[in-house]
């Protein structure tokens, strides 16, 4: 599947040391880059395809762990956002960093907290490395097409309002784009 | 002396995997043309003055040091080049014993990452099933990782998932052979002490493994009862050859006679240990809307095991067998969630594992002896406010009747790993400890909005294998208050834990001798007897302590954050409860301050000073796993 995302991380460079030096220059705040592709099974055995999710609509990817205290209120806040926007094209993907041997404990947590999201256990932190996340919770907000529009590291009181505002904005943007495409495809009157 | 046991190389397996990957590539991919080059990664530069791993005296590295990790991921469409270029200067001082400045690619891999398959050549980590037969993983808190160097293939198809690998362990260079034992002969009154440390000039290992999981009903997603069913099987073929040829320059055998006169002898020695190990495993998973079950069984078959030790004139060619079983069951009904786990490691006869069985002997007036043997049992449990441990059976019941409150009750029983490093060996077999353990744990999680989060836990149980009569109780709570102000986040996190121990030495007590030795099944009843202990040795001894972690934080999110942490830890003494002179209890304080500045989105500068106990650290709503450290550290992290 073709990915329309052209992110801030895409450039050509010969030397890796040069890349490291380039990285020290300030980057544009919202031009973070493309979300990586992956195919993985969730804790219930269903296949999750990153590219398909990005093509479908707005995606939130959240890294968490059962031992992480701030993750608990964050997941509750995400559940409320999910309830509100799931019919508008929002998919929430939560990735547990507990380790594959802790899958039973993760499932127990998911059942207890009644989490309505897609839940993945990150085998050997491969998704965390793909997204270059280093702490939990870390949340990536990805627009339709696969471009990362916002990153939230940590969760503090009040963040849920900011996240919801960003989600609403992206969904509105997605709706406008879809309307434009529909208008383009629609036959012009009189012709 | 050479023992001709063939150790085959893995390159035929590697070629086979490459061919299989190429075949999958032809059928699985769409054949998009290459477009551009994408580079991403991060760079972490640390300059520090202090101690690393302050809890592990063996790896203490004082002084200045500089490390730089450049993790990069270069992608051209579906091809990738990943790596870590590491600059490591453990000591910038003039200590002649310190390692030299090193620059090297500590991680490197090239491969293909498609929608349905990944192929990688280089360094990799993976896990088969839930990790009974093969578990390769990394823990940054103890700076330990098990990584293979070879080729790896992972194929995701709707009905099938295949993982294949061929390679060798990267940790082979650090192995040494060491023996440190002592024995007391009652008849002659002699004590024999053997101390030996051999360099290990030869270590070769080859690993080949494949794990296939089938999801036969995944096409029928409309039938939820069937879609989450998986059946899998795997094999791991492991061949290792450890030899210390003439490396044991001498062995110190010190004989101390009953008069206290020591006699030392030096013996040249040759040591060799070759093993061909085969690990087949099966795993089954079934998930429905309210019930999920998982079972995994792995066997470890030593198809050929040769152990040569010239000192003891020992040559053993042995076939042994051991197995591991893991079962988990989860269910939910009404507002209750139930989870049960059971893991059993069973060893057969293995002359080189060691430390599998703890034999306890007691010597008091009148003489008595006691032997304790239980099965190897492992499951998981997270005690309040401590690092994650792997121990006992586990049965957990959670109740979430209310929106912001959860109550959990768990029961554990069994054994646990020798230490955290033991979890990071190539195979989990042989890295657990035979302990008689049980623990009951009650925890509540309460939250009022996101401003007040409370985690209160209490456990009661018996945890210490060397103190069989000890009872242990913990009451711990964790509060995360604030932030109080929205624009300028001020937070306060408190973690408070009261631990208490009660030693009951009413029936038996005295010097407990722990002897590590090979596994020998013994009838428990033959040894399990006690004798009366004199009244003066009978006692009930109680200990308690408070552990406190307090973190105050301020952030002008997301650009500036400041935190100060105080941690007080009072360890329990090590030794016998009745021998009060052995008590070496001392409080340990960790005090630290840190400033994190994030001038732009992808770059951060962090200055830390003080001491850190290591483990899971949560500050300003953000949790990271950190290694223990003492000193001053400057970290510059750049994401590109």
| B residues 414..443 contacting A (CB < 8 A) | none
Chain centroid, CA A183 distance in Å: 29
> Rounded mean pLDDT of B134-152?
76
Query: What CA–CA distance (Å, rounded) separates A128 from A132?
Result: 6
Residues of chain A found within 8 Å of residue B396, distances taken between Cβ atoms: 105, 108
Maximum mean pLDDT: which of A61-65, B41-45, B268-272, B597-601:
A61-65
Q: What pLDDT digit, counting tens, does each position of A78-118 carry? A: 999 999 998 998 999 999 998 887 888 888 888 888 888 89
Conformation bin of residue A170: beta by default, left when phi > 0, alpha when psi is -120 to 50? alpha
Looking at the predicted structure, is the pLDDT value of residue A140 above 90? yes
Q: What residues of chain B lie within 8 A of the CB of A135, using their CB?
A: 622-624
Instruction: Give B382→chain A minimum CA distance, Å.
Output: 9
- Enumerate the residues of chain A whose CB falls inside 8 A of the CB of residue B451: 157
d(CA B82, CA A55): 26
- How far is CA B135 from each of CA A132, A182, B126, B224, B404, rounded to the nearest angstrom? 23, 51, 6, 30, 36
Average pLDDT over residues B451-461: 60
Show which of residues 488-527 on chain B sit within 8 Å of chain A, judged by CB atoms: 489, 491
Instruction: Report CB contact under 8 Å: A101, B639.
Output: no
Q: Which residues of B486-523 are buried (b: 16+ CB within 10 A; e: fewer)?
A: eeebebebebbbbbebebbbeebbbebeeeeeebeeee
What pLDDT was estimated at residue B534? 45
Residue B486 near chain A (CB below 8 Å):
yes
Residue A70 pLDDT > 50 = yes
Q: Please list the residues that pair with A47 across neighbouring strands.
A: A41
First to last CA, chain A: 34
- The nearest CA of chain A is from the CA of B484 a distance in Å of 9
CB-CB neighbors (< 8 A) of B40 in chain A: 9, 33, 132
Q: Compute the distance between CA of residue B325 and CA of residue B294 in angstroms, rounded to an integer.
A: 11
Interatomic CA distance for residues B392 and B411, integer angstroms: 9
Cβ-contact B413, B400 below 8 angstroms: no
Give the pLDDT confidence score for residue B565 in this predicted structure: 81
Tell whether A137 lies on the interface with B, counting CB pairs under 8 A: yes
**Rounded-to-integer distance, Cα B143 and Cα B611, Å:** 17
Cβ distance A39 to B294 less than 8 Å, yes or no, reads no
Distance of alpha carbon B197 from alpha carbon B252, whole angstroms: 10
Gap between the Cα atoms of A40 and A123, Å rounded: 10
Distance from the A139 Cα atom to the nearest Cα atom in chain B, whole angstroms: 11
Q: What count of other Cβ atoms lies within 10 Å of the Cβ of residue B173? A: 8
What is the reported pLDDT for A165?
92
Q: Which residues of A touch B339 (CB under 8 A)?
A: 104-105, 107-108
pLDDT at B203: 66
Q: Determine contact: B579 vs chain A, CB below 8 A.
A: no
How many angstroms separate the Cα of B466 from the Cα of each of B66, B470, B513? 41, 9, 9
Identity of the residue in A30, A69, A111 whose CB atom sits nearest the CB atom of B480: A69
Q: What is the average per-residue pLDDT within B511-536?
A: 32
Average pLDDT over residues B259-263: 63
- What percent of chain B is modeled with pLDDT above 90? 5
Question: Is B282 in the A-facing interface, judged by CB distances under 8 Å?
Answer: no
Share of chain B above pLDDT 70, in %: 39
Q: HEC profile for B20-79?
A: HHHHHHHHHCCCCCCCCEEEEEEEEEEEEEEEECCCCHHHCCCCEEEEEEEEEEEEECCE
Q: Which residues of B touch A81 (CB under 8 A)?
A: none
Cross-chain residue pair B600–A13, CB shorter than 8 Å: no
Are B472 and B485 in contact, with CB atoms under 8 Å apart?
no
Longest dimension (CA), chain A: 65
Residue B208: name the closest of B167, B169, B153 by CA. B167
Q: How far apart are CA A187 and CA A175, in angstroms?
A: 20
Strands B357-362 and A33-34: unpaired
For B422, the enclosing helix (H) or strand (E) is none
Give how far A172 is from chain B: nearest CA, Å.
Answer: 24
pLDDT value at residue B508? 39
Is the ipTM beyond the 0.85 threshold? no
Strand partners, A191: none
Asked if B395 contacts B378 with a C-beta cutoff of 8 angstroms, the reply is: no
What percent of chain A is modeled with pLDDT above 90?
26
Whole-angstrom distance, CA of residue B30 vs CA of residue B9: 35
Q: Determine the distance from the C-alpha atom of residue A184 to the mean position of all C-alpha atoms in its chain, rounded to a whole number.
A: 29
B384, HSE (Cβ side, Cα atoms, 13 Å):
35
Asked if residues B94 and B114 have their Cβ atoms less than 8 Å apart, the reply is no
Taking contacts as CB-CB distances below 8 angstroms, the residues of chain A near B113 are 37
Mean pLDDT, chain B, as a whole number? Answer: 63
Closest CA to B480 of A96, A16, A170, A154: A154
Report how many Cβ contacts below 8 Å link chain A to chain B: 218
**Do B400 and A1 lie within an 8 Å CB cutoff?**
no
Nearest CA-CA partner of B350 in B301, B415, B296: B301
Of B6 and B263, which is predicted with more confidence?
A: B263
φ/ψ of residue B401, rounded to 5: -70, -35
Interface contact B455, partner A, CB < 8 A: yes
For the residues of B212-273, what is the DSSP string, one character each? EEE-TTTT-TT-HHHHEEEEEEEEEEEEEEEEEEEEE---EEEEE-TTS-EEEEE--EEEEE
**B203 or B392: whose pLDDT is higher?**
B203
A 162-191 residues inside an 8 A Cβ radius of B: none
Encode B253-264 in three state secondary structure. EEEECCCCCEEE
B253 vs B592, residue with greater confidence: B592
Which among A33, A51, A158 has the least Cβ separation from residue B40?
A: A33
Higher pLDDT, B137 or B8: B137
Is the pLDDT score of B524 beyond 50?
Answer: no
Confidence bin at B39 (pLDDT 50/70/90): confident
pLDDT at B77 (0 to 100): 78
Sorting pLDDT into bands at 50, 70 and 90, what band is B364? very low
Q: Where does the pLDDT of residue A61 fall: very low under 50, low under 70, confident under 90, or very high at 90 and above?
A: very high
Please choose, from the candidates B233, B236, B176, the residue with its C-alpha nearest in 3D space to the C-alpha of residue B10.
Answer: B236
Is B156 in contact with A104 (Cβ distance < 8 A)? no
Query: What was the pLDDT predicted at B377?
Result: 26
User: B196 with B180: CB under 8 angstroms?
Assistant: yes
For B411-455, write each residue's pLDDT tens digit: 655 544 444 444 444 554 444 444 445 556 666 666 665 556 666
Instruction: Quickly state the pLDDT bin for B152 (edges 50, 70, 90).
Output: very high
pLDDT digits (tens, 9 = 90+) for B178-203: 555 666 666 776 666 655 555 555 66
């Amino acid at each position: 599947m073709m990915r329309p995302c052209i992110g801030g991380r895409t450039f050509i460079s010969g030397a890796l040391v040069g890349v490291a030096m380039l990285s020290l220059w300030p980057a544009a705040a919202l031009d973070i880059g493309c979300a990586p592709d992956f195919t993985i099974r969730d804790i219930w055995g269903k296949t999750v395809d990153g590219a398909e999710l990005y093509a479908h609509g707005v995606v939130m990817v959240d890294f968490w762990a059962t031992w992480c205290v701030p993750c608990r209120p964050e997941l509750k806040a995400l559940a409320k956002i999910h309830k509100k926007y799931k019919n508008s094209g929002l998919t929430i993907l939560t990735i547990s960093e507990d380790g594959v041997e802790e899958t039973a404990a993760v499932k127990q947590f998911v059942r207890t907290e009644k989490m309505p999201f897609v839940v993945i256990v990150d085998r050997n932190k491969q998704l965390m490395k793909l997204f270059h996340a280093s702490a939990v919770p870390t949340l990536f907000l990805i627009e339709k097409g696969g471009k990362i529009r916002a990153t939230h590291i940590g969760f503090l009181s009040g963040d849920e309002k900011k996240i919801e505002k960003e989600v609403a904005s992206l969904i509105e943007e997605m709706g406008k784009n879809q309307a434009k495409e529909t208008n383009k495809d629609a036959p012009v009157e009189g012709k | 002396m050479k023992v001709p046991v063939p150790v085959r190389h893995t390159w035929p397996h590697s070629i086979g995997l490459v061919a299989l990957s190429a075949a999958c590539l032809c059928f699985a991919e769409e054949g998009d043309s290459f477009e551009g080059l994408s580079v991403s990664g991060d760079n972490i530069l640390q300059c520090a003055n202090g101690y690393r791993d302050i809890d592990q005296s063996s790896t203490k590295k004082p002084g200045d040091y500089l490390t730089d990790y450049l993790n990069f991921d270069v992608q051209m469409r579906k091809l990738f080049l990943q790596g870590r270029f590491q600059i490591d200067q453990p000591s910038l001082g003039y200590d002649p014993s310190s390692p030299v400045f090193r620059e090297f690619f500590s991680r490197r891999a090239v491969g293909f990452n498609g929608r349905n398959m990944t192929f990688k050549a280089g360094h990799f980590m993976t896990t088969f099933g839930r990790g009974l037969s093969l578990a390769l993983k990394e823990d940054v808190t103890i700076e330990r990782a098990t990584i293979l160097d070879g080729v790896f293939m992972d194929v995701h198809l709707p009905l099938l998932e295949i993982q294949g690998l061929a390679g060798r362990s990267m940790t082979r260079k650090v192995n040494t052979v060491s023996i440190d034992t002592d024995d007391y002969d009652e008849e002659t009154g002699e004590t024999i002490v053997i101390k030996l440390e051999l360099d290990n000039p030869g270590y070769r290992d080859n690993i080949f493994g494949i794990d296939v999981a089938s999801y036969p009903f995944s096409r029928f997603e409309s039938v939820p009862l069937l879609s989450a069913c998986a059946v899998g099987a795997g094999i791991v073929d492991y061949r290792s050859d450890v030899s210390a040829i003439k490396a044991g320059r001498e062995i110190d055998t010190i004989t101390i006679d009953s008069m206290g006169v020591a006699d030392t002898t030096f013996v040249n020695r040759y040591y060799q240990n070759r093993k061909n190990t085969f690990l087949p495993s099966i795993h089954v998973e079934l998930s429905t809307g309210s019930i999920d079950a998982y079972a995994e069984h792995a066997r470890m078959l030593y198809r050929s095991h040769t152990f040569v030790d010239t000192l003891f004139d020992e040559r053993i060619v042995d076939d042994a067998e051991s197995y591991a079983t893991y079962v988990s069951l989860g269910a939910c009904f009404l507002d209750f969630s139930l989870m049960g786990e059971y893991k059993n490691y069973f060893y057969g006869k293995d002359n080189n594992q060691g430390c599998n069985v703890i034999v306890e002997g007691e010597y008091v007036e009148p003489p008595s002896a006691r032997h304790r043997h239980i099965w190897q049992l492992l499951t998981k449990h997270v005690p309040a406010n401590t690092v994650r441990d792997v121990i006992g059976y586990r049965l957990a019941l959670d109740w979430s009747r209310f929106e912001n409150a959860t109550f959990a009750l768990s029961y554990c029983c069994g054994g646990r790993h020798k230490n955290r490093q033991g979890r990071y060996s190539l195979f989990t077999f042989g890295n657990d400890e035979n302990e008689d353990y049980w623990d009951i744990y009650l925890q509540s999680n309460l939250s009022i909005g996101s401003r007040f989060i409370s985690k209160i836990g209490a456990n009661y149980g018996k945890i210490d294998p060397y103190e069989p009569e000890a009872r242990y109780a913990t009451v711990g709570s964790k509060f995360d208050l604030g932030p109080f102000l929205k624009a300028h986040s001020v937070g306060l996190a408190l973690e408070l834990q009261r631990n208490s121990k009660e030693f009951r030495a009413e029936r038996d007590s005295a010097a407990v001798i722990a002897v590590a030795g090979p596994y020998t099944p013994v009838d428990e009843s033959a040894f399990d007897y006690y004798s009366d202990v004199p009244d003066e040795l009978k006692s009930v001894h109680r200990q308690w302590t408070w552990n406190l972690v307090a973190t105050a934080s301020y952030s002008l999110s997301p650009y500036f954050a400041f935190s100060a942490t105080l941690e007080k830890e009072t360890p329990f003494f090590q030794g016998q409860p009745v021998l009060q002179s052995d008590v070496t209890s001392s409080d340990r304080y960790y005090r630290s301050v840190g400033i994190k500045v994030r001038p732009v989105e992808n770059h951060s500068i962090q200055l830390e000073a003080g001491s850190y106990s290591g483990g899971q650290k949560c500050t300003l709503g953000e949790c990271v796993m950190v290694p223990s450290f003492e000193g001053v550290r400057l970290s510059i992290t750049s994401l590109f």
